[in-house]
């Protein structure tokens, strides 16, 4: 089945409202194995909407609308789509009673223009809205093309989709859909180039979504039973894992910190953080995860040189010789944090997030990331070059992501790509990279 998403509202075209509905619907349709061919945003203009509906209906099986179901004169989506699908509308007394009752609960009285919200399809059918005043609508023509109309208010639209529309589409698919999402560290283009043939399958299907410093790969399988769909989905995921290796860090998790906390708990480990340029972002991400207090007890934000010396025990002479933004200082921060917190693992981060502050041989975006493992008195040092992003926020976000991945790798005993093995006693001259 193919689909097009049509979001109606002049306020969307003017940029007064962010169009989150299209993003939500695209992901939901993908989970159902329905291919979205086009997304549209169109104003409250009946003629232009009529032209778009006729065009979209000629090439797609399903048209999914949000918006244009309000009571004002320019809310004409229902009337326009009904005409395009050869249908008409009738006044529904039951829906009008629901509207009146809804207003009464909020100490208001509906006006005459609210009556248009109680108009429902004659040949199609209404879609129940238990979270607002306007029912949705379902139209269908003789060739089997369908249109479903939902409110533009995101809360109402999502509820109607979940409770009414999605189950109806699943029944029409006559199959069971199962989806899983693989989280992978790295850029979209790099990842996609490695697994490109796997995106060509029609069942299971796979789609990649780019995030900052990582990507999601959503795999969706359609089978006759739930068990078969889940099995097919899992088997296809393993093909991605075989190619992507340990860069593919988890399945069906919101973010990397959830994986880190889970791994630390399973291993019985504790972690500490010593952050300069990231200003506590790593600690914040860890503590966003429920249960993180079991594995994380200390975080140090040592922005000033004096703080690094006082809280982490970084030698002032080390800073004077190599600069505060250096490999030796990052290593000293990591081991200092581990000692101060009594943690098995720790990370230390120092860098130049910009926009100013570049040093000779160290442009903006230079970040030193060190990891310490007190179990073996060993660690890792990485020099990250993130200045190409020209954005302080992105540099800091990516540095925090690298730090979380370093925690994961140390906890699991995985190799650290581009990392240099160090100890607290490694001569500083060797790690002045």
DSSP 343-369: -SEEEEEEE--SSS--BTTB-TTEEEE
Give the CA radius of gyration of the chain: 28
CB 393 within 8 A of CB 382: no
Q: How confident is the model at residue 88 (pLDDT cuts 50, 70, 90)?
A: very high
Query: What mean pLDDT do residues 127-142 have?
Result: 93
What's the pLDDT score for residue 177?
84
Query: What mean pLDDT do residues 86-96 have?
Result: 95
Q: Which two tokens stand for residue 167?
A: 């189950």
SS3 124: coil
pLDDT higher than threshold 80 for residue 87:
yes
Q: How confident is the model at residue 75 (pLDDT cuts 50, 70, 90)?
A: confident
pLDDT higher than threshold 80 for residue 122:
yes
Query: Phi-psi category of 177—alpha, beta or left, where left has phi over 0 and alpha has psi -120 to 50?
Result: beta
Alpha-carbon distance of 265 to 279, in angstroms, equals: 25
Alpha-carbon distance of 135 to 298, in angstroms, equals: 52
pLDDT higher than threshold 80 for residue 73:
no
What's the pLDDT score for residue 285?
98
Condensed to tens digits (0 to 9), the pLDDT of residues 272-306 reads 999 999 999 999 999 999 999 999 999 999 999 99
Alpha-carbon distance of 335 to 272, in angstroms, equals: 10
SS3 284: helix
What's the pLDDT score for residue 174?
75
Give the list of residues 6+ apart from residue 14 with CB closer than 8 angstroms, or none: none
- Packing angle, helices 256-267 and 392-412, rounded to 10: 30
For CA atoms 57, 59, 61, 65, give the dihedral sign: negative
Condensed to tens digits (0 to 9), the pLDDT of residues 389-403 reads 889 999 999 999 999
Condensed to tens digits (0 to 9), the pLDDT of residues 222-244 reads 898 889 999 999 999 999 999 99
What's the pLDDT score for residue 240?
98
What's the pLDDT score for residue 62?
97
What's the pLDDT score for residue 173?
78
Q: How confident is the model at residue 1 (pLDDT cuts 50, 70, 90)?
A: confident
Query: Phi-psi category of 280—alpha, beta or left, where left has phi over 0 and alpha has psi -120 to 50?
Result: left
SS3 387: helix
Condensed to tens digits (0 to 9), the pLDDT of residues 351-390 reads 999 999 999 999 999 999 999 999 999 999 999 999 888 8
What's the pLDDT score for residue 172?
84
Condensed to tens digits (0 to 9), the pLDDT of residues 109-119 reads 898 889 999 99
Strands (E), 211-295: 214-223, 248-251, 271-275
**pTM (predicted TM-score):** 0.79
What's the pLDDT score for residue 306?
97
**What's the burial of 16, exposed, middle or buried (CB within 10 Å: 0-12/13-18/19+)?**
exposed
Alpha-carbon distance of 337 to 219, in angstroms, equals: 40
């Amino acid at each position: 089945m193919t689909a097009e998403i049509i979001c109606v509202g002049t306020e969307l075209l003017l940029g007064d409202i962010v169009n989150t509905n299209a993003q939500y619907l695209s992901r939901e349709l993908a989970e159902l194995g329905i291919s979205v061919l086009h997304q549209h945003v169109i104003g409250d203009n009946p003629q232009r909407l009529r032209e778009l509906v006729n065009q979209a209906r000629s090439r797609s099986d399903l048209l999914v609308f949000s918006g244009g179901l309000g009571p004002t004169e320019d809310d004409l989506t229902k009337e326009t789509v009904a005409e395009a699908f050869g249908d008409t509308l009738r006044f529904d007394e039951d829906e009008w009673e629901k509207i009146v009752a809804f207003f009464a609960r909020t100490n208001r009285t509906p006006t005459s223009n609210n009556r248009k919200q109680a108009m429902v399809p004659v040949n199609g059918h209404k879609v129940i809205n238990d979270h607002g005043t306007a029912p949705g609508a379902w139209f269908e023509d003789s060739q089997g093309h369908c249109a479903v109309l939902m409110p533009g208010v995101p809360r109402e639209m999502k509820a109607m989709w979940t409770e009414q529309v999605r189950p109806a589409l699943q029944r029409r698919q006559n199959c069971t859909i199962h989806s899983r999402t693989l989280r992978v560290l790295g850029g979209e283009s790099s990842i996609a180039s490695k697994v490109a043939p796997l995106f060509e399958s029609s069942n299971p299907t796979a789609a990649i979504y780019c995030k900052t410093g990582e990507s999601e790969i959503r795999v969706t399988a359609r089978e006759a039973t739930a068990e078969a769909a889940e099995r097919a989905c899992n088997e296809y995921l393993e093909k991605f894992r075989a190619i992507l290796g340990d860069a593919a860090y988890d399945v069906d998790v919101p973010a990397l910190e959830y994986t880190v906390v889970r791994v630390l708990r399973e291993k019985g480990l504790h972690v500490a953080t010593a952050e300069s340029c990231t200003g506590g972002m790593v600690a914040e991400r860890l503590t966003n995860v429920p249960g993180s207090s079991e594995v994380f007890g200390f975080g140090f934000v040592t922005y000033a040189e004096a703080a690094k010396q006082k809280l982490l025990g970084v030698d002032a002479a080390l800073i004077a010789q190599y600069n505060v933004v250096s490999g030796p200082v990052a290593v000293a921060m990591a081991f200092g944090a581990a000692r101060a917190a009594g943690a098995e693992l720790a990370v230390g981060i120092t860098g130049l997030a910009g926009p100013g502050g570049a040093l000779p041989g160290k442009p903006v975006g230079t970040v030193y990331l060190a990891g310490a493992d007190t179990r073996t008195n060993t660690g890792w040092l990485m020099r990250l070059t993130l200045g190409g992003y020209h954005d302080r926020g992105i540099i800091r976000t990516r540095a925090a992501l690298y730090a979380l991945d370093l925690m994961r790798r140390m906890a699991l005993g995985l190799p650290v790509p581009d990392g240099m093995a160090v100890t607290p006693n490694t001569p500083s001259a060797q790690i002045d990279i």
